[in-house]
Structure 1
């Protein structure tokens, strides 16, 4: 673009918009004498600054900029300054823990105690004439945990808010609220998952809650695991009724789990070559799938992509996990610091007098524990 083309374009636009310029107080001109005293480069630079000043202050329409110069003349300026967008925040995860952990409410920060009793329930014994009946004793198991306070926040300066033409900082309170949702999901996940997959402190041979052979997830292994869970017995050999099962996987097994559930027909060939068609998948009844995205972050080994868990319905007699919130503070709360700055003559300013910053934070109070190892089974998927 030559200087002549630019100057002629500006001269024509100035002539067309004389009335508009007069309405807004006119546009500052560079004197003819000053132009004679500057070289050609400085002259064009001053003229361009004057032209852009008119656009910034509203005395000249933005369309004139595009008419006088094409976007190809200033690719960086258009890309950075005039065509900017704020990408949306990453989609918030949908929490899954309510489907396999029991939600509870606690009264304060002191330890809460949960008791599980057993030993009295059992089949009655036949008693002969004048014979003694069986006197049973009850056993007790105590689980305890306490809730803790969790917080996060931010401070934004006055200058930052003034420069925030894209509204990037207006969504920060929403991000804080989502942080509380993420924190709940991550906390519950850490109760049953560690770096190697199924939590080594809870899924043990002694607890008999490791799926036999640590198989990978497929229809047969899932069916065997559900059967194993539904065959659970208490301390006296009484059956534990399981009315619903949740399959929990990370993203590595999300598609596999969905394919198992969505399959509507199986064909089985026996040793004689006979084909048997099985309608349905045989495992979908009373079974739900939960894809827990935090498993991929907590399980830091390759087992994150192969581990899977099943849980009995947490609303049954006894849950595998319990998650508790503080009474009266069940939901996360957003706070902002009370501003202490006021203009002389009136008008509150939402900023600190000393630092001219605005501060906000979120607070959430929660805790939980692993409860009953009988109510869950897991496999790391390694086949060993």
Structure 2
């Protein structure tokens, strides 16, 4: 052990070769003169390296004896490698405030909103003519488009993939389809400045006056505006539930409003009134849309907020359509054209030795009824 300890010290100091450490270049096996001490040292060194290789020695022994600089080829790559998982796709929220539909083909589809006949009955005198009403219609039109993405892997890359890094790629394509749907619907109601300027206007009466910041009072005003909606004939539009949609900048604020269990008000005379609950949580849900931060490129991304009526009511604020027969994203792979001599197909291209996969998704949509939503830029002006 004393001899071996000295040998380890000399290895650390890089001051000797293997032959010099263990007594020169004399033959050990088959020689007439045997050196038991030298043979024992060699066997001990072999046992030490064997134990290190199969994890039978503590790592501290290895660190004290040898460093990675002693073996530049062996430790050129890390012995401890780990593959991190990819980022998780955003949780889709659009189904909570946009109606899902199915279209038959790529031709434009039309949706019609009718009104004009519904209304209060008029009192009619004896032998008098009754009121004759006419129906009006408002058309909405959109078409679906095809969206694709894919990848190709070389044969060498797959052989070298000891961490199975490429096994995740088809799942990444599937999650790309989820992100694409959420992003598309976000662009229907949001633009660079927040609420989409085409749909949220003073003329449509769906942009809150003063663009108030998100608060309980402002949210109450937005919900009240939705509840007071009237059609062209002045008939009330029933809104049974609403969804509050915000970006990540207002996620905590929205949740705090929803989770409030007590609300206090003070009147002009200083009297305090305690209200159990927050007064707005009934039939209200909160959706955090992560793509708002990407679509709204100004500071309004952190302040804008939207309120939508239940999309399953009479009319939705938006409609998102998928192609019939392709409602779900479809994953494809290129048919291999390589076969071994003697039989057996290989999943590679004969010319390039690459394996290819792609995903295809067909969807589209449109903004339908501006009465079914209210928004604010949250700028306070």
What's the TM-score, normalizing by structure 1? 0.84
Residue 179 of structure 2 corresponds to residue 182 of structure 1? yes
Specify which of 288, 293, 303 is matched with residue 291 of structure 1.
Answer: 288
Cα distance between partner residues in 1 of 2:41 and 2:171: 46
Residue of structure 1 equivalent to 2:311: 314
- Residue 63 of structure 1 and its aligned partner are, at CA, apart by 4.2
Tell me, in whole angstroms, the C-alpha distance in 1 between the residues paired with 2:317 and 2:161.
47
Query: In structure 1, what is the equivalent of residue 268 of structure 2?
Result: 271
Bigger fraction of residues in helix:
1
- Say whether residues 1:103 and 2:100 are aligned partners: yes
CA contact (8 A) 1:13 1:64 kept: no
Q: Which residue of 1 aligns with 2:278?
A: 281
Quote the offset at 1:114 in angstroms: 0.5
Instruction: Give the unaligned 5+ runs of structure 1.
Output: 20-50
Q: Which residue of 2 aligns with 1:40?
A: none
2:377 counterpart residue number: 380
Q: How many residues align?
A: 346
Quote the Cα distance in structure 1 between the aligned partners of 2:346 and 2:127. Answer: 88
The whole-number CA distance in structure 2 between the counterparts of 1:115 and 1:85 is 55
Describe the shift of the 1:304–1:13 C-alpha distance in structure 2 as closer, same or farther (beyond 3 A): farther
2:330 to 326, 330, 333: 333
**2:172 partner SS:** helix
What is the aligned counterpart of 1:303 among 300, 303, 319? 300
Out of 241, 244, 247, which is 2:241 matched to? 244
Are 1:74 and 2:85 counterparts?
A: no
Residue 85 of structure 1 is matched in structure 2 by 82
Kept after mapping to 2: 8 A contact 1:71/1:78? no
2:29 corresponding residue in structure 1: none
Distance 2:115 2:64 in 1: 82
2-structure distance, mates of 1:299, 1:217: 17
Gaps of 5+ in 2: 1-11, 23-38
Matched, 1:370 2:367: yes
Q: Pairwise CA RMSD of aligned residues?
A: 2.6
- Whether contact under 8 Å (2:89, 2:176) holds in the other structure is no
Paired with 1:79 and 1:247, the residues of 2 have a C-alpha distance of 54
The TM-score normalised by the length of structure 2 is 0.85
